Amino acid sequence: MSDAASTTTVEIVLFPGFDELDAIGPYEVFQNGARAGASLETKLVTLDPVDRVRASHGLRVEPNGALGDPDVLVVPGGGWTNDDGGVSRVIDEGRLPEAVADRHANGTVVASICTGAMVLADTGLLDGRPAVTHQVALEALESVADVRSARVVDDGDILTAGGVTSGIDLALWFLEREFGKAVAAAVAEEMEHERRGEVVAR
């Protein structure tokens, strides 16, 4: 990741039909991490500049801008079981998987929450690698990845989390990995979140 003198940039990429908590949970963790001393800058972004994005439960979010070249790219899930939006649609369109693969090839750490793992799987990034996703997509993920029974799987340059609220645990784990246990503990305490489930890390 970034050296001690620089700021780690995190971008959470939004798309129509993304699950609200998949994105906003980690966003709040990272923002609180910055307040707790982590050298982090976190943005909500989209592939193209737009005024707002409608999420799966109707929340409308104003992103900070278009996807850049962050140190960390977070892909939320949502809509895997629907044909009218979310992960299924962005996979069919192909642009988001391509953008994720391009960033990873250039050194970006990629993280997925929930069925966002299926975007990573579509790129081939999870082929033969340990990973996890929401229970509704586990069977599909098993066709390409080494699926683990864990809440968070950290394979270095790729991190995956299970369903929805596990994104909070992934973000807390990332804070611990990069900025120390004290920062992660401070954020978990502030958010009154009890970390649970296994983290599989290489």
**Both tokens assigned to 177:** 């990995």
- The pLDDT of residue 202 is 83
Report, as an integer, the average pLDDT of 143-170: 97
Average pLDDT, integer, range 25-33: 98
Does the pLDDT value for residue 152 go beyond 60?
A: yes
pLDDT in tens, 112-139: 999 999 999 999 999 999 999 999 999 9
Enumerate the domain spans of the chain: 8-201
Q: What is the pLDDT of residue 84?
A: 67
pLDDT at 141 over 70: yes
> Percent of the chain, pLDDT > 70?
97
Instruction: Classify domain 8-201 at the CATH topology level.
Output: Rossmann fold (3.40.50)
pLDDT at residue 173 greater than cutoff 70: yes
Each residue's pLDDT tens digit, 39-89: 999 999 999 999 999 999 999 999 999 999 999 999 999 989 876 689 999
Measure Cα distances from 113 to 78, 92, 140 in Å. Answer: 9, 19, 16
**Are the C-beta atoms of 69 and 106 separated by less than 8 Å?**
yes
Pairing of strands 152-154, 158-161: antiparallel
pLDDT of residue 157 exceeding 90, the answer is yes
